[in-house]
Chain A
Amino acid sequence: EVQLVESGGGFVQPGGSLILSCVASGLIFKDSWMAWVRQAPGKGLEWVANINPDGSQIYYSDSVRGRFTMSRDNAKNSVYLQMNNLRVDDASVYYCARDPHYAALDYWGQGTLVTVSS
């Protein structure tokens, strides 16, 4: 059974930082593209970033580029999202997902909530 488990969410003030983690099991992680997708409270889904299997290619949405950094550690079956200079509109549930091919995300974690408020 594939499992993706996110952690690291919490409360932060505008301008602050957080690091999200996602640990994967039940899949061949080192061969998998991975993605982060977010969902603001009561809103729809928004693509954040994705990363190729060896971490050499990372793509970001315009809304987070320059502030967020996605990375991975294949030895730990983990992906990360370093979020800096957080804004109120970054407040969302952040989901980790596997991206098997052209964003057709087939496995999702349960999500971790990030709250940004003064």
Chain B
Amino acid sequence: DVVMTQSPLSLPVTLGQPASISCRSSQSLVHSDGNTYLTWFQQRPGQSPRRLIYAVSNRDSGVPDRFSGSGSGTDFTLRISRVEAEDVGVYYCMQGTHWPPTFGQGTKVEIE
């Protein structure tokens, strides 16, 4: 299985400051069709996961533009340009290129 490694696992941030989460895969996530199936999810405390970003950098409808995704191959990043209180939660990357789909361990974002 493809191993997804996130860092850091805990991310204390100051309100209004930027934050960045890294996600690395054990194999390239470029599919034979040329697409890269890397997705980011946010899970707020007590809630179900919510998709933020799909195919590396496509932001979902309703997701604030302070969230952005980038990367290629095996290295990917989720950035929050200015952290707000509602961004507290756990963020997961997930690959869908190779079967079975696999998730990163999660990065807990909290306000310091």
Q: Which of A62, A95, A106, A110 contacts B54 (CB 8 A)?
A: A106
B96 in the interface, Cβ–Cβ < 8 Å? yes
Knowing A95-B48, A108-B50, A111-B48 touch, does A102 contact B103 (C-beta < 8 A)?
no
In the complex, A37 Cα to B102 Cα: how many Å? 11
Q: Which of A51-109 contact B (CB under 8 A)?
A: 59, 61-62, 95, 101-106, 108-109
Are B48 and A61 touching (Cβ within 8 A)? no
List 27 interface pairs A-B (beta carbons < 8 Å), by A numbering.
A37-B49, A44-B106, A45-B49, A45-B103, A45-B106, A47-B101, A47-B102, A47-B103, A59-B100, A95-B49, A101-B37, A101-B96, A102-B35, A102-B101, A103-B37, A103-B94, A103-B95, A103-B101, A104-B37, A104-B55, A104-B96, A105-B49, A108-B48, A108-B49, A108-B50, A109-B48, A110-B48
Chain B residues closer than 8 Å to A106, beta-carbon distance? 51, 54, 60
In the complex, A106 Cα to B40 Cα: how many Å? 11
Are A104 and B102 touching (Cβ within 8 A)? no
A46 in the interface, Cβ–Cβ < 8 Å? yes
Q: Which of A44, A59, A105, A110 contacts B39 (CB 8 A)?
A: A105
Rounded to whole Å, the gap between the CB of B27 and the closest CB of chain A is 15
Tell me the interface secondary structure of chain B in the complex.
Answer: loop
Q: Which of B41, B60, B96 contacts A102 (CB 8 A)?
A: B96
Other contacts beyond A45-B94, A105-B41, A109-B48: 10, CB < 8 A: A45-B92, A45-B106, A46-B103, A101-B37, A101-B96, A103-B37, A103-B95, A105-B49, A105-B51, A106-B60
B105 in the interface, Cβ–Cβ < 8 Å? yes
Rounded to whole Å, the gap between the CB of A40 and the closest CB of chain B is 12
Q: Which of B33-48 contact A (CB under 8 A)?
A: 35, 37, 39, 41, 48
In the complex, A104 Cα to B35 Cα: how many Å? 12
In the complex, A105 Cα to B94 Cα: how many Å? 10
Are B37 and A102 touching (Cβ within 8 A)? yes
Q: Which of B57-112 contact A (CB under 8 A)?
A: 60, 92, 94-97, 99-106
